[in-house]
């Protein structure tokens, strides 16, 4: 069936789950530390609902941010991750009481928020980022990546993983900690997802062989090589995300040619016209800020890379994978 003939009503009802950084002040009108417009958090959520977003996972990038993510998740009936991003990993050492106390605090936060609405569904984001060692050295990043892996085993939670220009060390640390096979399930862990993936086809294959999922967003589809790697992700291992407010797709990205076929009925939901922050209008998308509603556009590009598979099939599979990985059975049953 040519994609353009999918009834817009049907296609727009895709079930999506997003990985988002909703704690970012940009959703409150503060761009790069300056207030540019009023708080439009609720309007942003409304736009995402109209675009078929049924729920979201809010990422915690530090102890403090994980607490904020949990507060938002509880308030809006969403889910959160708890952990410390590699670029923030010096926080472990600066923490009063030292690194052990920081890890204990994360452990306690997870322990206290394991049940019901607004719960922790993954440990992270954690990992390695060698593109940004000015924030934390490779050694500091490695040490605190290792220590967080124990939390995933202890609480039987999947990992929410970040890896940039660090593949060899990243995989070595995971393997050493017992995550090399079936995502560490023999040790009580629950696999995980390598998010915002920008690596090679070989890396996709390695992660999948280790039992991990791979998640794509706008940053994962900037070049033709990116697209080749994205197309190599198996249907049972793929997740979609926006990483909002980061990783918007732009007209200079390789994804653009695949987005050209996005029907207007869906474009108006996923990529509606945006205004400059200075010309803010409540209810309109804001330039320079990615939003959860754009997940449908990510899914569309993946659909175009997998010739012949209907858009609904692509979104449905990613939705199922998400429910399974993060153990969100209530969404499958429709009780939430």
Numbered residues of the known binding site for a divalent metal cation: 31, 125, 162, 195, 243
Instruction: Pull the structure tokens for residue 202.
Output: 């070989």
Region label for 283, one of left (φ > 0), alpha (ψ between -120 and 50) or beta (otherwise): left
Q: Looking at beta carbons, which residue is closest to Zn ion?
A: 162
Q: Does 88 bind Zn ion (CB under 5 A)?
A: no
Which among 133-141, 166-174, 176-184, 190-198 is the span making contact with Zn ion, rule CB under 5 A? Answer: 190-198
Which among 108-116, 133-141, 150-158, 192-200 is the span making contact with Zn ion, rule CB under 5 A? Answer: 192-200
* C-beta closer to Zn ion: residue 246 or 280: 246
Rg of the chain (C-alpha set)? 19
* C-beta closer to Zn ion: residue 88 or 162: 162
* C-beta closer to Zn ion: residue 81 or 196: 196
* C-beta closer to Zn ion: residue 128 or 259: 128
Place of tokens 């607004």: 118
Q: What residues between 196 and 215 interact with Zn ion by CB under 5 A?
A: 196
| Residue 23: CB minimum distance to Zn ion, A | 14
Which among 136-144, 149-157, 176-184, 191-199 is the span making contact with Zn ion, rule CB under 5 A? Answer: 191-199
Q: How distant, in Å, are the alpha carbons of 96, 177, 230 from that of 93?
A: 8, 22, 36
CA atoms within 13 A on the CB side of 121: 28
> How many residues interact with Zn ion (rule CB under 5 A)?
2
CA-wise closest residue to 128 among 84, 73, 76: 84
Q: What residues between 292 and 321 interact with Zn ion by CB under 5 A?
A: none
| Residue 164: CB minimum distance to Zn ion, A | 8
DSSP 294-309: GHHHHHHHHHHHSTTS
- The 10 Å CB-count burial string (b at 16+, else e) for 83-100 is bbbbbbbebbeebeeebe
Q: Does 47 bind Zn ion (CB under 5 A)?
A: no
Q: Which helix (H) or strand (E) holds 144?
A: helix 138-155
Task: State how far the Cα of 192 lies from the Cα of 325, in Å rounded to an integer.
Answer: 7
- The 10 Å CB-count burial string (b at 16+, else e) for 122-139 is bbbbbbbbbeebeebeee
Task: State how far the Cα of 82 lies from the Cα of 155, in Å rounded to an integer.
Answer: 12
Pattern 115-154, binding to Zn ion, x per CB under 5 A?
----------------------------------------
* C-beta closer to Zn ion: residue 148 or 196: 196
Q: Does 162 bind Zn ion (CB under 5 A)?
A: yes
By the 10 Å C-beta count (0-12 exposed, 13-18 middle, 19+ buried), 144 is classed as buried
* C-beta closer to Zn ion: residue 52 or 86: 86
Task: State how far the Cα of 25 lies from the Cα of 33, in Å rounded to an integer.
Answer: 8
| Residue 120: CB minimum distance to Zn ion, A | 17
Which among 69-77, 188-196, 215-223, 327-335 is the span making contact with Zn ion, rule CB under 5 A? Answer: 188-196
* C-beta closer to Zn ion: residue 196 or 220: 196
| Residue 87: CB minimum distance to Zn ion, A | 9
Residues interacting with Zn ion, by CB under 5 A?
Answer: 162, 196
């Amino acid at each position: 069936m040519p994609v353009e003939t999918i009834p817009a009503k049907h296609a727009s009802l895709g079930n999506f789950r997003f990985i988002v950084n909703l704690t970012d002040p940009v959703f409150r009108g503060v761009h790069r530390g300056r207030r540019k417009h009023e708080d439009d958090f609720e309007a942003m959520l409304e736009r995402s609902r109209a675009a078929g977003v049924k729920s979201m996972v809010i990422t915690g990038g530090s102890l403090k941010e994980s607490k904020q993510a949990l507060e938002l998740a509880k308030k809006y009936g969403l889910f959160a991750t708890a952990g410390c991003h590699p670029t923030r990993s010096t926080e472990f050492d600066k923490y009063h009481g030292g690194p052990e106390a920081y890890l204990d605090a994360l452990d306690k936060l997870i322990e206290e928020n394991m049940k019901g609405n607004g719960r922790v569904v993954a440990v992270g984001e954690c990992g390695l980022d060698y593109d940004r060692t000015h924030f934390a050295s490779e050694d500091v990043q490695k040490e605190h990546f290792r220590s967080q892996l124990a939390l995933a085993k202890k609480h039987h939670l999947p990992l929410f993983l970040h890896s940039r220009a660090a593949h060899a060390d990243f995989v070595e640390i995971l393997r050493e900690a017992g995550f090399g096979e079936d995502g560490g399930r023999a040790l009580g862990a629950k696999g995980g997802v390598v998010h915002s993936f920008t690596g090679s086809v070989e890396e996709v294959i390695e992660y999948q062989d280790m039992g991990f999922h791979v998640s794509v967003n706008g940053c994962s589809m900037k070049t033709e090589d990116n697209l080749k790697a994205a197309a190599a992700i198996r249907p049972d291992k793929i997740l979609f995300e926006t990483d909002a407010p980061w990783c918007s797709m732009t007209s200079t990205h390789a994804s653009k040619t695949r987005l050209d076929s996005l029907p207007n009925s869906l474009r108006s939901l996923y990529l509606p016209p945006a205004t400059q922050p200075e010309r803010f209008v409540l209810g309109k998308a804001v330039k320079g800020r990615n939003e959860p509603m754009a997940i449908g556009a990510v899914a569309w590009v993946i659909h175009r890379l997998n010739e012949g598979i209907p858009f609904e099939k692509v979104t449905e599979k990613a939705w199922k994978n998400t429910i399974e990985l993060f153990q969100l059975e209530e969404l499958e049953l429709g009780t939430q």
